[in-house]
Structure 1
Amino acid sequence: MGDRLPSGDAMTSAFPVLAQQVGGRPLAYLDNAATTQMPLQVLDAMRRFDTHDRANIHRGVHTLSQRATDAHEAARARLKAFVGADERHELVFTSGTTESLNLVAQGLSLPGMPSGGGEGALQPAWLRPGDEIVVSALEHHANLVPWQLATRRSGARLRVVQPDAEGRLAPEALAPLLTPRTRVFALTACANGSGERPPYEAMLAMARDAGALTVLDAAQAMAHEVPALASLACDLMAFSGHKMYGPMGIGALVGRRDALDRLVPLRLGGDMVEWVSQTDAGFAELPQRLEGGTPNVCGAIGLAAAAQFIDGVGRDAIAAHVEALREHAAAALSALPGVRVLARHAHGSAIVSFVVDDVHPHDIGTVLDGRGIAVRTGWHCAQPLLERVAHGPTTRASFALYNTHDEVERLVEGVAAAVEMLR
């Protein structure tokens, strides 16, 4: 791994999109919690596949199909190593975190076919009436709404761990909710609405000790603080490529084989079956059982290349850099009159989310865009959290390895100008 970030010129060379101007000014792209940019290393890996090896996998004896299959499985192995999986784990490719979490919530709450096929009655859903699912109030809608539906479908009960007034989530708040009825505990590794980084290691361990299946939404951590899966009390973890310098439309669900085996497949069809008759079918083993249909092979290769890129730069160097940018922005924005930064205390985060008295976030975002600064405004798919800690939508800046302290200064100056203009 590296121990320092590339220089500004080298960074622009690696990410050509950053060389453009917006509103007559150099682009300061501060919307990385929504989507990071892709380096040439990732784009080149995807281009090589599409121009040299493009073919469907697992279904052909010809050379291109075999090369594509090998590349796809090499990407799987590379990503398993990246997240610290071991022999207990398997990685399933999905379209991203949202599909991964839906696969878990629906896969646990739907009845399934008998193991190995057969025309007997469906096996009952893993979640049943009287069970309890615990989530936190920090969650992205993708780690909340699927569980809401799962409770309605299964007759289970949804319980929510609440943060304090500053948005902190403490293990002590979880303890009273864990009972013998707790079957699932789902938590984010970083709240995309506020930047809060909960003590997920301790909270997952508490839930595991209580007998719950543990689920981690790692989407906002993968670009700088990759969870070491084998050392966590985590059964299932979801992440997306487009938040870690990789392509859109690809992600993964990685976890313990015994946990993945509990999931009823959602995509039924080609490549996820061992045999099919006119009236019955037997499903394939993991991971193919959960990967029905033609896979996004190019996306998987790009995702593995993004992981290799992160390790090449150095995880520690990236984490130190984005955390320093976050602290700089949080301190400087908090010093502006009428500006309140959410989770001001947070560490291990690349997100600064803030509200301005009497000024709507969309107006701030529009003014900043005119100055070449890209941020995100609104609810950030975290409406329950922001209603609780911000009483409305926010403006959110989020940082990546290519951002600079000069861009933070531009952000703060732009917000100050917007406040003066709009009040």
Structure 2
Amino acid sequence: MSSSDRAGYDGASYDIELVRKDFPILDRVLHGDRPLVYLDNAATSQKPRAVLDAERDYYELHNANVHRGIHVLAEEATALYEAARDKVAAFIGAPDRHEVVFTKNSTEALNLVAYAFSNAAALGAEAERFRLGPGDEVVVTEMEHHSNLVPWQMLCQRTGATLRWLGLTDDGRLDLSNLDEIVNPRTRVVSFVHQSNILGTVNPVAAIVARAREVGALTVLDASQSVPHLPVDVTALGVDFLAFTGHKMCAPTGIGVLWGRHELLEVMPPFLGGGEMIELVTMEATTYAVPPHRFEAGTPMIAQAVGLGAAVDYLTGLPGGMAAVAAHEHALTSYALGALAEVPGLRIIGPTTAVERGAAISFLLAGKDGRPIHPHDVGQVLDEQGIAVRVGHHCARPVCLRYGVPATTRASFALYTTTGEIDALVEGLAGVRRFFEA
């Protein structure tokens, strides 16, 4: 069935073919004559020329260290780096540019907060909100990426606190039936994902934040899969910290963001020690710089930050901006869910409708005899057809354990994905079944 015959997609408000021309890699041909169908955007997005040019321009014309020199190149590099901070702050609705901390990625941003809770033991009364010990509890969810699970497990091991979690329903949603029990007066921090990288589920942030506030717990939101795909406003969300990464939103690898409320960053213990994060150093002791520099020790990811700023410019410059990206991906997800429902032997892991759901769809595929085809085999045969998907547990192994599957195949979409690529995936999956029936 062709894309014109399927319902569920009403087109993008921007010219998607013009957008695709901004991404050179989408013109690639693989295995001799197979056009690239890139459906691994939840792992990393492709980069537009504007981002590639900005990073190259920095290295060719402005390369110097930041915050340290008085020569022209140092001043230009500093201006570009700090301009990127301004752009990110505006992009996520941060009320204060000093609330934006640059990190390598979401993983480092989340670890930064987790280590603050154990580092607080060595500081004074000002760090009381981050002091954790036996009897205290940390709450996560069963759908977390490992980067928002392992740091909290490690924190509990270091401090003697207890880790608890919200479970999952059979249809891939958070089970909030026991929210008041799990998030209770012993809870010190609640850290959870905004949009699941494996299930695609968009979680009810307001309900969880409201309960956390009732008991005085801090909230941390992993927005790695939401900031690249929909409008995000940290003030409207009401969380205390938010983490995301550049490489999933058309920016370079090696750059991420931790946003935190300024009053919390002011008293939060630093994660790394060294140059740039200090106020005064003697042989006996050190005092720390004000946020955000307190958390940006050493030479930062300057070129990557410049690239992130260019990615923000690119996304906001699209007709309709992030609202248009979200509308396109929502319609595309509806279309894909309908198309995949037509594939014999295919089972979606996660919500089967586009309601409160993002553009990442994980699934299992069975052959004609009903026996499952291993996702790694599915991915390999699809790759031979030029179709790039992700296979495995997607750094969310507890989700696979919850649904009793060893791994899944995941197709994930972005602002440049087309219905034709969804059709190619459906045809490719038919080819996978034929291959294993031969």
TM bucket normalised to smaller? over 0.9
Q: Distance in 2 between matches of 1:109 and 1:226?
A: 33
Residue 177 of structure 2 aligns to a residue in which SS? helix
Distance 1:95 1:88, change over 3 A: closer
- Alignment counterpart, residue 399 of structure 2, candidates 372, 385, 402: 385
Q: Distance in 2 between matches of 1:112 and 1:67?
A: 39
Q: Distance in 1 between matches of 2:210 and 2:433?
A: 44
Q: Are 1:15 and 2:23 an aligned pair?
A: yes
Residue 213 of structure 2 aligns to a residue in which SS? helix
Residue 168 of structure 2 aligns to a residue in which SS? coil
CA deviation map 1:364-422 (0-9, x unaligned): 00111011100000000000012212522000000011111011001011112202322
**Which residue pairs with 1:183 in the alignment?**
188
Q: Distance in 1 between matches of 2:291 and 2:217?
A: 22
Higher mean displacement: 263-272 or 364-373: 263-272
CA deviation map 1:195-243 (0-9, x unaligned): 1111123222221232110000000011121321011220000000000
Residue 215 of structure 1 aligns to a residue in which SS? strand
Residue 196 of structure 2 aligns to a residue in which SS? coil
Q: Distance in 2 between matches of 1:247 and 1:148?
A: 29
CA deviation map 1:222-267 (0-9, x unaligned): 1121321011220000000000010000011001012223432222
Amino acid at match of 1:163: L
**Which residue pairs with 2:239 in the alignment?**
234
**Which residue pairs with 1:316 in the alignment?**
323
Q: Distance in 2 between matches of 1:287 and 1:89?
A: 5
**Which residue pairs with 1:57 in the alignment?**
66
**Which residue pairs with 1:332 in the alignment?**
339
Distance 1:116 1:293, change over 3 A: farther
**Which residue pairs with 2:144 in the alignment?**
139
Note the residue ranges of structure 2 that are not aligned, 5 or more in a row: 1-11, 367-371
Q: Distance in 2 between matches of 1:212 and 1:240?
A: 25
| Matched ranges for 1:58-73 at <5 A | 58-73=67-82
**Which residue pairs with 2:35 in the alignment?**
26
**Which residue pairs with 1:168 in the alignment?**
173
Distance 1:116 1:182, change over 3 A: closer
| Matched ranges for 1:23-422 at <5 A | 23=31, 24-87=33-96, 90-111=99-120, 113-114=122-123, 126-313=131-318, 314-343=321-350, 344-347=352-355, 348-357=357-366, 358-422=372-436
Distance 1:42 1:84, change over 3 A: same
TM-score, length of structure 1 as denominator length: 0.94
**Which residue pairs with 2:7 in the alignment?**
none
CA deviation map 1:11-30 (0-9, x unaligned): 34200111011122110100
Q: CA deviation at 1:124?
A: 10
Contact 1:355 1:390 in 2 (8 A): no
CA deviation map 1:260-309 (0-9, x unaligned): 23432222111111111122211111111110000111111111111111
Higher mean displacement: 138-147 or 172-181: 172-181
Q: CA deviation at 1:100?
A: 0.3
Q: Give the ranges of 4+ consecutive aligned residues of structure 1 lying more than 3 Å apart after TM superposition.
A: 111-117, 122-125, 170-173
Q: Distance in 1 between matches of 2:255 and 2:434?
A: 42
Note the residue ranges of structure 1 that are not aligned, 5 or more in a row: none
Residue 198 of structure 1 aligns to a residue in which SS? coil
Q: Distance in 1 between matches of 2:16 and 2:165?
A: 44
Contact 2:330 2:354 in 1 (8 A): no
Contact 2:101 2:258 in 1 (8 A): yes
Q: CA deviation at 1:123?
A: 8.6
Contact 1:88 1:257 in 2 (8 A): no
Q: Distance in 2 between matches of 1:326 and 1:105?
A: 34
Residue 398 of structure 2 aligns to a residue in which SS? helix
Q: Distance in 1 between matches of 2:422 and 2:172?
A: 23
Count of equivalent residues:
416
Residue 353 of structure 1 aligns to a residue in which SS? strand
Contact 1:246 1:303 in 2 (8 A): yes
Report the RMSD for the aligned CA atoms in angstroms.
Answer: 2.0
Distance 1:323 1:125, change over 3 A: closer
Amino acid at match of 1:146: P
Q: Distance in 2 between matches of 1:144 and 1:243?
A: 20
Contact 2:231 2:323 in 1 (8 A): no
- Paired-residue identity, %: 44
Amino acid at match of 1:288: H
Q: Distance in 2 between matches of 1:264 and 1:4?
A: 45
Q: CA deviation at 1:116?
A: 12
Q: CA deviation at 1:173?
A: 3.8
CA deviation map 1:111-167 (0-9, x unaligned): 4654699xxxx9996112111111011100000000001111111110010011111
Contact 1:170 1:198 in 2 (8 A): no
Q: CA deviation at 1:110?
A: 2.5
